[in-house]
Structure 1
Amino acid sequence: MNSLVGKVAWITGAGSGIGQAVATALAGAGCTVVLTGRRPEALEQTAKRIAENGGTSLARSGDLTQPETAGAIVAEIEERFGRLDLLVNNAGGNIVERAWKDLTPASIDTLIHSNLSAAFYCASAAMHPMRKAQQGQLIHVASWAGKFIHPVSGPVYTAAKHAVVAMSQSINMEEYKNGIRSTVILPAEVATPILDKRPVPPSAQERAEMLQPADLASLALFIATQPDSVCLNEVVISARLNKFYER
C-alpha cells in the first residue's frame, strides 16, 4: 500500500458531506489537503476539524463552474507546495424541480455545469502538474445514477453522472502512459445535505439506512493507497439495505 505522508490532495465540495469526510480522512493519513467549495465558512469548519486532529489543510473557496477557477487554484497549489498528487472531484448538486416537466434551460445549465463541466475543469487543470511529475491520481465521486437509470435523480443529474463515468474512463485510456490513474466511484444513496434537495426529502430513519460520508471516506482512502501499478477503474457501492432492489 502507498503511503500518503507528504502528498498533496485537492478535494472539491469539501465543505460538507462526502467531501468533508474524505478531506478529514486524507489529512489523517498524512496528506496536505486543499479544500475547495463555494462557502468559505463551511470550508473553515472542515479546516478546523482537520487541525484539531493534527492535520494540515488550505482552504480556497471558489465557483468551480467558472472555467478559470480550477486553473487558478492548481497554480497556487503548485506555487505553495510544488506538487499535486491527488484530486478528489466531489463537487456537485441537484435541484428540487428535476423532472422533465419542470426543467428550464437555466436549470439544465446549472446541473450540467455543477456536475459535469466543473469536474472536467478540475481534472484538466489537475493533470498539468501530474504529467510533469509522471504520477497522479484522480478520484471522481459520480453516483449510482451514473450507471443505473432511475427517476429519483432526475434526467439531467443522471446524464451528467453518466458522462463523469465516461470522462474518468477516457482519462485512463489517454493518461496511463503519464503515470496517471483515474477512479470513478458510483455510490447509491448517501446521507448528505444534497438529500434536502429532493422533492420529498428522506426521513431520519431512511438516512440512517443509507451509506454514510465516512463510508465513502474509507473507500477513497483505500483507493488512494493502492500501489502505483494498480488502477481501480470503477467502484459501485451501496448500503447493504439497498432499496433499489426492492420489488
Structure 2
Amino acid sequence: MGTLDGKVAWVTGAGTGIGRAGAEALAAAGATVVLSGRRAAVLDQVAEDIVAHGGAVEVEPLDVADKEAVIKAADRIYGRNRHVDILVNSAGLNLPKRHFNDVSLEGFEHVVQVNLNGMFYCIQAVLPAMRAHKDGLIINISSWAGRYDTYMTGPAYNATKHAVVSLTNSLNIEECVNGIRACCICPGEAATEIMKNRPVPPSKEDLGRMLQADDLGRTIRFVAEMPPHACVNEIVISPTWNRIILGASDLARR
C-alpha cells in the first residue's frame, strides 16, 4: 500500500527536470500520475519508465500557455478519473537573451505566458472540483529568484517567479475554507535542462554541486504526503554550495 494510493496527480512540465522527478516520486508513492508537457514523445518515455517501476500513469500532452487547451485537457482528465487530488505546476522556462539590454518584447511575453498565466490556467481548471470535494493540494514550482532578486535570471523570470509566490499565498488565503492547500517550492540552482538556456551554461563540476531533480522530487512527495489538515505554505531549498551567494563567475554581471 502506498501513501498516495487512490490519489490522482496532474503534473505539468513532466517531461524533464523537476516535473519528471515529481511525477516519478508521486507514482512511487501510489498516485496515478497524469503527465503533461509539450513533447508527446518525451512524455511517453517518462510513462514507460514509471510503468516499468510499477506505477500508474496517463499521458496528456499540453502547452499550458494555451488556455483553451488547458480547459480541454482538464475535461479529459476528469472524464477518465473524476477527480484530481494533486496539481503540480512545474512547467516553466527562461531565455538565453533575458536581460533588459537584450530581451525582446515577444520573449518577455512568452516567459509570462508560460510561467505565470499557464500556471493560473491549470489552477483554475482544477479548483471547481476541489472545492466540491472540500479537498485538494496545489504545488507550484517557483524559484530562489521568486524569493530573492538576482541579476542572473533576468526581469521576466524574476517577475513571474515572484508572482508565483504571491499566487500561492492568495490560494491559501482564499481557498483554505474549502479544504484546499497550496505550497510554493522555491529551489535554488538545480541541474535540469533549463541550465542549457543560460547565457553561460554552468560547468559539469558546478552542475554536480547543484540540487538534483530527484531532490525536488522528494520534496514534492513530502508535501503531498502531509495530512490534509497541514499546509506547507512555502519551501525554500538550495544547494549547500550556493553559487548565487558565493558569486560564481558565470552568474556575474556582464
Structures share fold, TM-score greater than 0.5: yes
TM-score (norm 1): 0.98
Count of matched residue positions in the alignment of Structure 1 and Structure 2: 246
| CA shift digits 1:193-231 (9 cap, x unpaired) | 000000000111110000000000001100001011100
Counterpart amino acid of residue 69 in structure 1: A
- Secondary structure of the residue aligned to 2:34 is strand
2:123 paired residue number? 123
User: Is 2:28 the counterpart of 1:28?
Assistant: yes
Instruction: Give distance in 1, aligned partners of 2:208 and 2:128.
Output: 40
TM-score (norm 2): 0.95
| CA shift digits 1:119-152 (9 cap, x unpaired) | 1101111112111111000000100000111111
2:78 paired residue number? 78
Pairwise CA RMSD: 1.0
1:142 paired residue number? 142
Instruction: Give distance in 1, aligned partners of 2:229 and 2:56.
Output: 28
Q: Which structure 2 residue ranges, 5 or more long, are not aligned?
A: 248-254
Shift, 1:245, TM fit: 2.4
Instruction: Give distance in 1, aligned partners of 2:224 and 2:70.
Output: 21
Residues 122-201 of structure 1: pairs in structure 2 closer than 5 A? 122-201=122-201
- Secondary structure of the residue aligned to 1:88 is strand
Shift, 1:77, TM fit: 1.5
Shift, 1:65, TM fit: 0.2
Instruction: Give distance in 1, aligned partners of 2:164 and 2:135.
Output: 21
Shift, 1:244, TM fit: 2.3
- Contact 1:149–1:158 (Cα < 8 Å) also in 2: yes
Instruction: Give distance in 1, aligned partners of 2:61 and 2:101.
Output: 34
Counterpart amino acid of residue 245 in structure 1: I
Shift, 1:3, TM fit: 2.7
Q: Which structure 1 residue ranges, 5 or more long, are not aligned?
A: none
Residues 38-117 of structure 1: pairs in structure 2 closer than 5 A? 38-117=38-117
| CA shift digits 1:134-182 (9 cap, x unpaired) | 1000000100000111111111100000001000000000000111000
